[in-house]
Amino acid sequence: MLDGRGSVKRRAGARLWLSAGWLAVLVLAALLAPWITPKDPLAQDLFLGRLPPFWETGAEPGYYLGTDSLGRDVLSRILYGARLALIVALVAGSITCLLGAGLGLLAGFLRGWVDVLISRFIDIWMAFPPVLFSILLIAVIGPGLGSIILAIVIIDWTRFARVVRAEAMAQGAMDYVASARVAGRGRLGIMLREILPNVLPTIVVLLTLEMGIAVIVEAILSFVNLSISTDDPTWGGMIAEGRAAVYQAWWVLVFPLITLFLTVLSFSQLGEGLKDRFDPVLR
Amino acid sequence: MRLLRTFLMRLATTAVTLFGVAVIVFVVIRVVPGNPIAMMLPPGATEADVARLSALYGLDKSIPQQFLIWAGGVLQGDFGTSITTRQPVLALVLGRLPATLELSVMALVMAVIIGGFAALTGTRLRGTRTEGAIDVANGMALSVPDFLWGLVLILMFGVLVPIFHISGRVTPSLDLPFVTNFYLFESLIRLRLDLWADIVAHMFMPALALAIPLSAIIGQLLKQSLKETMHLDYVTLSRTKGYGENHVILREALPNAILPTLTLVGVQFTFLIGGTVIIERLFSYEGLGNMAIDAVINRDLPLIQGIVILFAAIFTAVNLLVDLAYAALNPRLRHA
Amino acid sequence: MSYLEIDRLSVRLRGGGPLLRQVSLTVAAGEVRGLVGESGAGKSMIGKAVLGILPRSTEITAGRIVLDGVDLLTLPPAERRRRIGATCALIPQDPLTALNPSRRIGPQITDRLVDILGWPRVRAEARARELLAEVYIPDPERVMRSYPHELSGGMRQRILIASAFAAEPKLIVADEPTTALDVTVQKQILKLIKEMQERHGTALLFVTHDLGVVSKVCQSLSVLYAGLVVEDCAVRDFFRAPGHAYSAALLAATPKYTDAVASLTPVPDTVIAAVRAEVAAADRRMSHG
């Protein structure tokens, strides 16, 4: 039994490190993209269209993971795509977190009409099919990096708001909050100094998970061809092209898919790992 | 009595939610840049032509006025006319709904089978390597969303070992004798097993992609509550009566472990239905979601409205049904 | 000849320390034996070992459990389960958690008769009604159709007693059957168990921490400390003159309504030290022999 528990812990640790490791590699790749990419990710050469990866016959030297139908280097596009994916993950994740957690905290701590109003909005939001809603929003605000971030924030704030609201409510009922109130602390003070620190681990875990979701949403929007522009290298855009030509050039789908898969898995496993480590609430 | 009152309260909040959804969609899509009317007309149409068509679709009025007219129509069962196809929205939407329903229900059934099997096996073999393997697989399945599983499945069973179809709902060259759009159901009723097999071969991968994350949730949650139940006194008592492990898990623990799982599965099922939008696109499956994306791309305002409202109605209906099922299955509530 | 014979039974936590140290005891047909000791002394563990419901975290390392001439530990698991189900029963501690909340009372009493013993359903149901009447439950018909949450704790304990006697078992393990109940109900339930035991002539292994209960119900007694039987004697002799210093101290610590000061006497440290030395000696014997 003790052995069993020990091995589970080790596995959880390995999970955490592997995820963090992959994400670190990705960050490095994104930062160093201009120096490490073998080719220009935008350069088209129709004579070099659909070259297979290096170990297949017919491969050209320098195009390690092959090329797409327009002759663009798959590896270079994946590396540049990492920049966009990570920007979306960080910026959209953080803004969503601030908005959602803020509203959740207000609703859960202040209760009353604020809570009624925010909860009603959450209910309405939960009745929207999220993917359709995001596609609709992008169609409305028009494509572009800012639009994607905005769409993610508008759709996903409820993920934070729901959990943080419930958590703030539970914390608000505890004795230490009552004693802070007796001690004469103001409502804002109690909310920020007493409740927020106790909800923070939950928020950090949700933020990690949200980053993975943001990467997926960006990929989905690029896949539906609503994301940035068709030229800019995005993993979702590459996947869309690969899906269309999956029988002719599987590598155009496989390599961005593996990258996206590992990235989403890493964010999620990192979140789960952090949850097991730090957060008694979500466990 | 109390049950009835909670039920009526739920109905009222549902109505408020649907109204909220309608208002938001209505306002949001009217801010869309790009005039849908201009897209309908051939090049060289005059200003007067545009104005005439706008009036025809009621787009020349103010947004609140448009909403009132539209809402009045909806209450009479008229959801307006699609701008691109010029057919009634209700007929279009109802025509596609069966495809999406069949896909969602198929995915739900798969998720319950896979997740239930994983949970029961994990409980039966608790403490062994098999349980550890099931936990790891569950964690993986849960971490990656349906969209990516769909792509992985396409590569595995569409390209590497091509045993299933990767696009469409049915092979187009087949002659379909159906009178409804519930192909899967009707082919079974008519005992056209050849058609049924073709439909399943098309539906299998999109349904599985939708099912994988949900099955992991079911597997994890059910296993956890089974394991908690296995420690309770009535389970121990049942063992002393001479019953074996399988009987104890299935007859004593399972009925009590299902209840906490059920409520969560209800919410997750609405997420699954939401997921059909992108999965249908990925597999070119002719359902509501695919039509919705086309409607957005073509700026077909009445159609978008109709589809979003329908999705919202389905979501709230599923939640209501789950609450009723919970009350029906829980003897404490049934006899309260 | 005794119906149940436990012979030098040792149980330990998997990968951990011993829970039972070479426990030996016998229960004759129709005899009531009390198992007493402080919490954690391993008294419940003995009952669980007999019924084959030890937790997965524990294992039997040595010894025999002979039931009606057959060593249970040498039987294949399925065979052992059936034999226990057909001849033994458990009266559990907490009536609130010992009935399955999602099943009606009737089937929870008759399931063993039908599934394990192969009785026709009608006969099993008649038997259940008869037993419910025996434990003074009014309107057995209605109770059998009820769910557990519709009944009081005392009612449920009566049902569990009826259920334990349903298959006319030769041996019943009663695991602190009154601890979880109201004081007012405790006496009735105790009386009921005694009455049923005498009427059916069942042997009873009565796990309790309450010496007052032992004096009312049991004929013989095993006193446990840290999984070691420190005294095994007739109840009459025990209350007249306990044979072991620890037993005497335990008896002295039992509340007496006549003497408020005596009831507060804890077990003296010297006695604890002596009994611990005995436990250590037993461990040495086990590891050397």
Beta carbons of B40 and B49 less than 8 angstroms apart: no
Residues C25 and B213: their CA atoms lie apart, in Å, by 55
Q: Which residue has the tokens 């599987």?
A: A250
Give partners of C (≥3 CB pairs < 8 A).
Answer: A, B
Contacts of B237 in chain C (CB under 8 A): 90, 92, 98, 160
- Map chain C to HEC letters: CEEEEEEEEEEEECCCCEEEEEEEEEEECCCEEEEECCCCCCHHHHHHHHHCCCCCCEEEEEEEEEECCEEHHHCCHHHHHHHHHHHEEEECCCCCCCCCCCCCHHHHHHHHHHHHCCCCHHHHHHHHHHHHHHCCCCCHHHHHHCCHHHCCHHHHHHHHHHHHHCCCCCEEEEECCCCCCCHHHHHHHHHHHHHHHHHHCCEEEEECCCHHHHHHHCCEEEEEECCEEEEEEEHHHHHHCCCCHHHHHHHHHCCCCCCCCHHHCCCCHHHHHHHHHHHHHHHHHHHHC
Which structural domain, as residue segments, surrounds residue A164? 80-230
Q: How do beta strands C58-67 and C220-225 pair?
A: unpaired
Does residue A70 sit in helix, strand or coil? coil
A265 domain-assigned: no
Q: Give the CATH H-level superfamily of domain B91-334.
A: MetI-like (1.10.3720.10)
Q: Which residue has the tokens 């009737």?
A: C106
pLDDT tens column, C221-257: 999 988 889 889 898 888 888 878 888 888 877 765 5
In chain A, how long is the greatest CA-to-CA distance?
A: 78
Contacts of C57 in chain A (CB under 8 A): 1
- Residue B307 at interface with chain A, using a CB cutoff of 8 Å: yes
Nearest-CA distance B254 → chain C (Å): 10
Which residues of chain C from 124 to 153 reach within 8 Å of chain B, CB to CB?
147, 149-150
CB contact under 8 A, B237 and C93: no
CB contact under 8 A, C89 and B232: no
A186 domain-assigned: yes
Domain boundaries, chain B: 2-75, 91-334
- The confidence score (pLDDT) of residue A7 equals 44
Q: Cβ contacts of residue A95 below 8 Å, gap of 6+?
A: A149, A153
pLDDT tens column, B138-193: 999 998 999 999 999 999 988 888 888 888 898 888 888 888 889 888 888 888 88
Residues B166 and B150: their CA atoms lie apart, in Å, by 10
In this structure, what CATH number is given to the domain that contains residue A189? 1.10.3720.10
In this structure, what CATH number is given to the domain that contains residue C232? 3.40.50.300
CA torsion, points C75, C78, C83, C85, in degrees to nearest 10? Answer: 150
Based on the structure, what is the number of domains in chain A?
A: 1
Residues B278 and A131: their CA atoms lie apart, in Å, by 7
- Residue B137 at interface with chain A, using a CB cutoff of 8 Å: no
Contacts of C75 in chain B (CB under 8 A): none
Does residue B33 sit in helix, strand or coil? coil
Q: Quickly state the pLDDT bin for B133 (edges 50, 70, 90).
A: very high
| pLDDT tens digits in sequence order for chain A, 283 residues long | 333 344 444 556 788 888 999 999 999 988 887 887 777 777 777 777 777 887 777 777 777 777 877 778 888 889 988 998 999 999 999 999 999 999 999 998 888 899 999 998 998 888 888 888 888 888 777 788 888 899 999 999 999 999 999 988 888 888 888 888 888 888 888 888 888 888 888 899 899 999 999 999 988 988 887 655 556 788 888 888 888 888 888 888 899 999 999 999 999 989 888 887 775 555 4
**Which of the 8 DSSP states describes residue B248?**
I
Name the phi and psi angles at A49, rounded to 5: -65, 140
What one-letter code names the amino acid at B300? D
- The confidence score (pLDDT) of residue B301 equals 82
Contacts of B308 in chain A (CB under 8 A): 128-129, 132-133, 136
What one-letter code names the amino acid at A71? G
Based on the structure, what is the number of domains in chain C?
A: 1
Name the phi and psi angles at B35, rounded to 5: -85, 115
Beta carbons of A97 and A202 less than 8 angstroms apart: no
Higher pLDDT: B241 or B37? It is: B241
Which structural domain, as residue segments, surrounds residue C257? 2-287
Closest chain A residue to B296, measured at CA: A136
Q: Where are the alpha helices (DSSP H) in B125-192?
A: 129-143, 146-153, 183-189
Contacts of A2 in chain C (CB under 8 A): 15-16
CB contact under 8 A, B143 and A264: yes
Cα C128 from chain centroid?
A: 23
Residues C58 and A80: their CA atoms lie apart, in Å, by 57
How many pairs of residues across A and C have Cβ atoms under 8 Å apart?
Answer: 7
Q: In what order do the strands lie in the sheet with C171-175?
A: C88-91, C171-175, C203-207, C32-36, C220-225, C228-234
Cα C265 from chain centroid?
A: 27
Q: Quickly state the pLDDT bin for C170 (edges 50, 70, 90).
A: very high
Nearest-CA distance A181 → chain B (Å): 34
Give partners of A (≥3 CB pairs < 8 A).
Answer: B, C
Q: List the structure tokens of A99.
A: 């908005």
Q: Which residue has the tokens 């480590």?
A: A277
Beta carbons of B83 and B36 less than 8 angstroms apart: yes
Q: List the structure tokens of B156.
A: 């595995």
Higher pLDDT: A254 or B332? It is: A254
Contacts of A260 in chain B (CB under 8 A): 148
- The confidence score (pLDDT) of residue C271 equals 82
